[in-house]
Chains A and B, each alone.
Chain A
Amino acid sequence: MADKPRIKLPKEAAKGEIIQIKTLVSHVMESGQRKDAQGKTIPRKIINKFACEFNGKPVFACALEPAISANPYIQFDAKIDEAGTFKFAWTDDDGTVITAEEKIALKA
């Protein structure tokens, strides 16, 4: 079910530059508050955690509650001191993890 996450960040940055990262992932974010047509509570199923690391070091993370809208959008920043790889991970209540990677180079 997991679709490819959408991620936007520059391909390269100057040393010391702070870049903006935008992420959007497809997920229903079922709150556990809603009831189906039979009046039965629809069980909660959300992305409960997002984490971003760069070359293995944590950059930004976010614990998410059912009050986050469906198809979670998360935007944050990162300071670039070296070239390397961003790793992104969205953790579902059911234990599955959606992952993605993006590389960034240093401007010559």
Chain B
Amino acid sequence: MAPRYVGLAAAIALAASVATAALAQDAERKGIPAPPGHVFNTIISGYQFRSKETRALQDDDLENPGFLAVERAADAWKKAEGSEGKSCMSCHGQPETSMKGVGATMPKWDDKLKKPVNLEQRINICRVEHMKAEPWKFKSRELTDMTTFVKYQSHGMPVAVKTDGPMSPWFERGKQTYYTRYGQLDLACASCHERNNGKFMRADFLSQGQTNGFPTYRLRDQRVVPLHERFEGCMFDVRAEPFKPLSDEFLALELYVAWRGIGLPVETPSVRN
């Protein structure tokens, strides 16, 4: 068993040295003041928790590899698919105007379905109902590209989800999920992202878990990752059985977590570790 303890000691030592270096670098993380009754005093984007190298990758539109997804979807926007012979553009015209602000307010209540839908679901509703095309699979490059592209049309606009009226039970459900401990490690979202953000958990520097940059280009995956895949990853990391992407559970959580970042500028496509 000796190597186990050597390893643990090394891990702690490394985490400690990482902590010192990062704290010197990130003495101050800028955020926005939270509205009254919010859980945070200051709402801080995940951008502020990343290293200067990672931030630099996001800051330059050419260097940011997330823009490969944006450009691919800009072409897909104009491409007719399905038996109606329509493209996104046939109904929505110029995305810079028609999609402006749309991503910042998702998930949104859908009167027909009597439930909230997120951007991925909205895109597929369009494909199935109006284009008579096959829906794109979750995690497919096409769906993540288009989600990134539509959200990018809200770049810099404040996150502004509605949580009242018919949304309020979904908000409460998401909140409950957020504070429930899951998995063998027995951790809730709040354990890391509310109580311990700005601190290290081993070598992981914990952020507030904000969603304003999603879909995000992850250095780890070397591709753009949609929010529900990240949720799955978090649950996997605490050794829980993750909810399914686009499930009601994750949808409620997406709504609730969006509210926790209310007012943050949309950063899609952001770059994260």
Contacts and interface: CB of A to CB of B under 8 A. Distances in A.
Interface in B24-71: 60, 62-63, 65, 67-68, 71
Interface string A1-30: 001101010000000000000101010010
B222 A71 contact: yes
A101 B63 CA distance: 19
A70 interface: yes
A6 B222 contact: no
A4 B222 contact: no
Interface string A67-88: 0011101010000000000000
A42 to B, nearest CB: 14
B68 A70 contact: no
B222 A24 contact: no
A24 B72 contact: no
Nearest to B66: A71
B223 interface: yes
Contacts of B65: 24, 71, 73
Contacts of B62: 6, 8, 22, 24
Contacts of A8: 62
Nearest to B223: A70
B223 A24 contact: no
A56 B60 CA distance: 30
B245 to A, nearest CB: 18
B71 A3 contact: yes
A22 to B, nearest CB: 5
A4 B63 contact: no
Contact of B68 (A6, A29, A75): A6
A69 B222 CA distance: 7
A73 B65 CA distance: 8
Contacts of A26: 68, 72
Interface in A26-79: 26, 29, 69-71, 73, 75
Contacts of A29: 222
A6 to B, nearest CB: 6
B267 to A, nearest CB: 19
Given A69-B222, A70-B222, A70-B223, A22 B63 contact: yes
20 contacts: A3-B68, A3-B71, A3-B72, A4-B71, A6-B68, A22-B60, A22-B62, A24-B62, A24-B65, A24-B67, A24-B68, A26-B68, A26-B72, A29-B222, A70-B222, A70-B223, A71-B65, A71-B68, A73-B65, A75-B63
Interface of B: 60, 62-63, 65, 67-68, 71-72, 222-223
Given A71-B65, A71-B222, A75-B63, 14 more contacts: A3-B68, A3-B72, A6-B62, A6-B67, A6-B68, A24-B62, A24-B63, A24-B68, A26-B72, A70-B222, A70-B223, A71-B68, A71-B223, A73-B65
Nearest 7 pairs between A and B by C-beta?
A: A70-B222, A8-B62, A71-B65, A26-B68, A22-B62, A3-B72, A69-B222
